[in-house]
Copies of this chain bind each other. A is one copy, B any other.
Amino acid sequence: MLAYCGNVIPKQSVNMADVARRTGVSIATVSRALRGERGVSEATRLRIQRAADELAYVVSPEASKLSGGATGRVAVVVPWIDAWFYSRILAGIEHELRAADLDVMLYCLEESAQRESFFERLPLRRKVDAVIAVAFPLTAPERARLEEMDVTVVVIGAHAGEFPSVRIDDELAARQAVGHLIRIGHTRIGMIRTVDPEGQSWEGDIARVAGFHAALAGAGLADDCTVTVPWGIEGGERGMELLLSRAEVPTAVFCHSDEVAVGALRTLRRAGIPVPAGMSVIGIDDHPTAELADLTTVRQPVGEQGAAAGRVVVELLGGREPAERAVVLPTHLVVRGSTARPPEL
């Protein structure tokens, strides 16, 4: 079954990802083709074999031993379970995978050190056919490790090199939110952005900040009004305190997420500033609390991102190319009572 090519010396630095890149198919397809498994057309198999020969790639003994049999299991790695976003994603994934008779192995790895250790040990355990990494940044060594060990990987909520991904367009979502504030007359708009408990900005936050700046620039507005806080309601409380400490207080605030916005609303209530008459607030998510708090927001489909990732995994494990390798789901404005024209107009 192994595709040894007698006339070349294996190079350790070449891996399946290189072969996949050269032939324009998925790593899973390369893996199947080189091991002689079903689900790959003869033409594709020949093309992949040719690319592997050219790159002097052989299935590594480690990868080959590991990839022996299908386990029927998919690891889902999340940084938190008991948070709305992650539990919704997880529900979407579990539903799709169970329908395909695949089992979900759940790993909650909150700290980046735990995640590193997990990815380091993964090849030794070989307990799963695929890994779905939910909304945390994969480091370069983690990506390399996953490519090497030849497991199917799908990433939710981020770009990650060659791996298939499912996400929203965070920059667009921010432009939808900030565009609404501009359209109803605001010219002094602040943003509360976030860092994780280890002080890092994640890809989604960076894209939302870019969208904030792009929307302001498009309207010819200044953009010096960004504050950075930790995720969550308390972060939002603190962020609004920081904005209220500015010499020029904004008339509207775009929050990284609805939970941050709920914290911002709490500070405004304690401060006696009426919403929306004295200040407009907008978030991103359409978290269930947004409806309770009458918060204007940009809705992102969450369970649907999990379900889409589950479907991509099912396709890949079945040896089929998914319809899209980079699924981007749409977001849209949900107008409620926390936004209105600015007080001075």
Q: Point out residues on A near B: beta carbons under 8 Å.
A: 73, 76, 80-84, 86-88, 90-91, 94-95, 98, 103-108, 127, 262, 288-289, 292-293, 303
A-B contact pairs, 23 of them (CB 8 A): A73-B105, A76-B106, A81-B87, A81-B90, A81-B91, A82-B84, A82-B88, A82-B303, A87-B87, A90-B106, A94-B106, A94-B107, A94-B108, A95-B108, A98-B107, A98-B108, A103-B107, A105-B105, A105-B106, A106-B106, A262-B292, A292-B292, A292-B293
Would you call A91 and B108 a contact (CB within 8 A)?
yes
Smallest Cβ-Cβ distance to A105: which chain B residue: B103
* CB contact under 8 A between A81 and B108, given known A87-B87, A103-B127, A293-B292: no
**A97: min CB distance to chain B, Å:** 9
What is the bound-complex CA distance between A73 and B292, given in angstroms? 39
What is the bound-complex CA distance between A253 and B30, given in angstroms? 63
**A303: min CB distance to chain B, Å:** 7
- Identify which of A73, A106, A127 gathers the most chain B CB atoms within 10 Å of its CB: A106
Smallest Cβ-Cβ distance to A110: which chain B residue: B95
Would you call B104 and A105 a contact (CB within 8 A)?
yes
- Identify which of A82, A103, A104, A289 gathers the most chain B CB atoms within 10 Å of its CB: A82
**A78: min CB distance to chain B, Å:** 9
**A85: min CB distance to chain B, Å:** 10
What is the bound-complex CA distance between A94 and B90, given in angstroms? 14
What is the bound-complex CA distance between A105 and B71, given in angstroms? 13
